[in-house]
């Protein structure tokens, strides 16, 4: 009797055609979805709903959103060179944490066929900002304003990415991404070769993990990603990025993001907010129509899903990721997500020539853009230069050439079905 009571705690049944089926307690469940982090002027986060994950050291999900939205000024360490005053300034459509039409400007050049990060001179040519492909749009004084040197003939824009659902992405095991890359090569006879790169984890010195965040997969950890963005987009230093890009017009002392009495700092709260967000939802009114479902089949048939992977499952609860620095919590564990991405680097003919954390051959590769939430974006691809879904499809070449050819061979009805499906995401 005791045995059956114990089993009842871990086993359940579901009704299926023909009878009952056992639902294993360790079977993956669907990740919660929704656009539930609205932006309010007062009481930030008070109307928000997360995935159940709380903030660090007992803080609420709402309080982490408030810090994500907080506007920083010079008195808090903003600058000297920066792009925005808050995380939400670049990640806010249609709710806080989403994508936006804000771009980042990067430059560089090649020497002997390899990408070289430029040295950008500021302060009337008296001060160098070395080894930095990012050209910040803003400065806290005229002397610090960056200008792209004429010598840098590689110039590109990068669209701001959505951070919604990023906690689930962080919880994907490295082994899963490596398996996807292996399967791609087998399924495409070597034509599609997604590349996984190992990148340093800032909070785990000496450790690396498979990158998955940023257009170049330059980060594996949301804490590392937060610290990098705080420095490069806002000019604010932290315990993981302790030195500012320049001291011209600087009035504060590094690091500027301090651990407070609660034991938390801003970068901890940024990471906690992203980890706590729901995954982007489909539009149910459009997604489940016969036209969209026919388009979903075409999406798979012509090979889009080889890279834009439809379903991925996160790691079990307690799994250590990020070089052992983060244990996957229950809210993120064993969840099935539908990101429509493999989070790998590919050469699809639109590469920007910029090399970051990866080896030289990644300069012309980009991370597969997740298509979840696509219906909320009007400028597509990494550079935002595609204004229509069809143009974005047709820009794919390189590893995606066979898929683009297959799309061209569809009849008008099939193309409309595919586009209907894509627009429901």
The string of pLDDT tens digits covering residues 276-317 is 999 999 999 999 999 999 999 999 999 999 999 999 999 999
Alpha helices, DSSP H only, in 163-264? 166-170, 174-187, 222-234
pLDDT band at 12 (very low <50, low <70, confident <90, very high): very low
- CB under 8 Å to 277, separation ≥6 — which residues? 37, 50, 51, 97, 163, 164, 165, 166, 167
Nearest to 74 by CA among 234, 191, 187: 234
User: 3-class secondary structure for 63-106?
Assistant: HHHHHHHCCCCHHHCCCCEECCCCCCCCCCECCCCCECCCEEEE
Residue 14 has pLDDT above 80, yes or no: no
CB-based contact 228:218 (threshold 8 Å): yes
Per-residue CA distances from 181 to 169, 185, 219, 314, 347 (Å): 16, 7, 18, 17, 14
With a pLDDT cut of 90, the percent of the chain lying above it is: 92
pLDDT band at 25 (very low <50, low <70, confident <90, very high): low
**Domain ranges across the chain:** 56-162+221-276, 168-198+281-422
Nearest to 191 by CA among 44, 379, 21, 405: 405
In 140-288, DSSP assigns E strands to 154-159, 198-200, 208-210
Model pLDDT for residues 148-189, shown as the tens digit of each residue: 999 999 999 999 999 999 999 999 999 999 999 999 999 999
Backbone phi, psi, residue 315, to 5°: -75, 160
pLDDT band at 10 (very low <50, low <70, confident <90, very high): very low
Residue 22 has pLDDT above 60, yes or no: no
Q: Which residue has the tokens 């701001």?
A: 160
Compute how many other C-beta atoms are within 10 angstroms of the C-beta atom of residue 200: 18
Burial class (CB in 10 A: 0-12, 13-18, 19+), 123: middle
Per-residue model confidence (pLDDT) at position 8: 33
Alpha helices, DSSP H only, in 99-208? 166-170, 174-187
Compute how many other C-beta atoms are within 10 angstroms of the C-beta atom of residue 274: 27
The larger pLDDT score, comparing residue 14 to residue 238, is at 238
Q: CATH top-level class for 168-198+281-422? A: mainly alpha
pLDDT band at 26 (very low <50, low <70, confident <90, very high): confident
With a pLDDT cut of 70, the percent of the chain lying above it is: 94
The larger pLDDT score, comparing residue 15 to residue 398, is at 398
Per-residue model confidence (pLDDT) at position 58: 87
- DSSP assignment letter at 124: T
Per-residue model confidence (pLDDT) at position 368: 98
Residue 3 has pLDDT above 50, yes or no: no
Nearest to 76 by CA among 351, 349, 265, 279: 265
Model pLDDT for residues 37-91, shown as the tens digit of each residue: 999 999 999 999 999 999 998 899 999 999 999 999 999 999 999 999 999 999 9
Lowest mean pLDDT among 2-6, 408-412, 419-423: 2-6
Residue 20 has pLDDT above 80, yes or no: no
**Bridge partners of residue 139, in order along the sequence:** 81
Residue 18 has pLDDT above 80, yes or no: no
Model pLDDT for residues 185-225, shown as the tens digit of each residue: 999 999 999 999 999 999 999 999 999 999 999 999 999 99
Compute how many other C-beta atoms are within 10 angstroms of the C-beta atom of residue 203: 19
**Bridge partners of residue 108, in order along the sequence:** 154
Q: Which two tokens stand for residue 243?
A: 């030195």
User: What is the value of pTM for the model shown?
Assistant: 0.93
The larger pLDDT score, comparing residue 26 to residue 212, is at 212
How many whole angstroms separate alpha carbon 158 and alpha carbon 137?
13
Residue 141 has pLDDT above 60, yes or no: yes
Residue 19 has pLDDT above 50, yes or no: no
**Bridge partners of residue 109, in order along the sequence:** 116
């Amino acid at each position: 009797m005791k045995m059956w009571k114990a089993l009842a705690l871990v086993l359940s049944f579901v009704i299926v055609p023909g009878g009952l089926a056992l639902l294993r307690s360790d079977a993956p469940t669907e990740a919660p979805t929704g656009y539930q982090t609205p932006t309010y002027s007062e009481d930030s986060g008070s109307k928000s709903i997360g995935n159940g994950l709380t903030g660090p050291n007992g803080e609420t999900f709402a309080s982490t959103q408030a810090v994500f939205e907080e506007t920083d000024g010079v008195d808090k360490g903003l600058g000297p060179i920066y792009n925005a005053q808050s995380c939400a300034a670049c990640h806010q459509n249609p709710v806080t944490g989403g994508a936006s039409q804000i771009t980042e400007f990067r430059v560089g050049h090649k020497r002997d066929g390899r990408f070289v990060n430029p040295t950008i001179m500021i302060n009337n040519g008296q001060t160098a900002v070395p080894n930095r492909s990012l050209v910040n749009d803003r400065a806290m004084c005229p002397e610090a304003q960056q200008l792209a040197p004429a010598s840098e003939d590689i110039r590109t824009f990068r669209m701001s990415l959505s951070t919604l659902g990023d906690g689930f992405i962080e919880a994907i095991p490295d082994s899963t991404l490596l398996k996807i890359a292996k399967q791609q090569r087998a399924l495409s006879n070597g034509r599609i070769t997604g590349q996984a790169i190992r990148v340093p984890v800032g909070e785990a010195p000496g450790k690396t993990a498979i990158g998955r965040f940023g257009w170049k997969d330059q980060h594996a950890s949301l804490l590392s990603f937060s610290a990098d963005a705080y420095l490069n987009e806002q000019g604010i230093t932290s315990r993981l990025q302790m030195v500012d890009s320049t001291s011209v017009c600087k009035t504060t002392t590094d690091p500027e993001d301090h651990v407070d009495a609660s034991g938390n700092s801003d970068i901890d709260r940024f990471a906690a907010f992203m980890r706590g967000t729901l995954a982007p939802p489909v539009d149910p009114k459009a997604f489940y129509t016969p036209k969209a479902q026919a388009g979903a089949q075409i999406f798979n048939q012509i090979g889009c899903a080889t890279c834009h992977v439809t379903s991925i499952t996160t790691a079990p609860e307690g799994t250590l990721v990020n070089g052992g620095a983060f244990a996957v919590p229950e809210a993120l564990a064993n969840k099935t997500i539908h990101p429509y991405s493999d989070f790998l680097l590919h050469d699809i003919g639109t590469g920007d020539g910029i090399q970051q954390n990866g080896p030289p051959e990644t300069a012309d590769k980009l991370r597969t853009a997740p298509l979840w939430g696509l219906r909320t974006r009007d400028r597509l691809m990494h550079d935002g230069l595609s204004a229509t879904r069809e143009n974005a499809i047709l820009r794919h070449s390189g590893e995606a050439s066979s898929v683009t050819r297959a799309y061209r061979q569809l009849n008008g009805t099939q193309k409309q079905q595919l586009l209907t499906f894509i627009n429901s995401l």
